[in-house]
Amino acid sequence: MENANQVNLPVDFFLTKLEEAKIHFERALDCKHTEFDDLYPYMIEHPQFFWYKRYVAWSELLTIVKLCDELQMEWKDKFATHQAEYVQSRVMSSTVLDYWYETNDSKEHVG
């Protein structure tokens, strides 16, 4: 690519993919059905299944965020402040798993 400014990038496409990745991670976090369940139905029987499912969704989210960063697209406004900080730290820690939904006094979950 000669100059990123000369490329006509579909910003809406990336923002849609970011939203989809966020929802995918949140569904995995909530132990709800995701595409991963369809790809590996035999894994449901294994105790480590939900860890793998969350790892895959987290990796997808980080990949989309990395592309947004490289393309200089704003992504942080799609997340609560603490969620954006978790994503920037890139580590899926117990804090991320336990406090992803934390707002002042309430919890929000994906429908």
Is the Cβ–Cβ distance between 58 and 88 less than 8 Å? Answer: no
Tokens linked to 35: 């595409």
pTM for this structure?
0.81
Report the greatest alpha carbon distance in the chain: 50
- pLDDT tens figures, 41-86: 888 788 788 888 999 999 999 999 999 999 999 999 999 999 999 9
> Residue 102: beta bridge partners?
107
- Each residue's pLDDT tens digit, 10-52: 889 999 999 999 999 999 999 898 888 888 888 878 878 888 8
Residue the block writes with tokens 């989809």: 20
Q: Output DSSP code: residue 78.
A: G
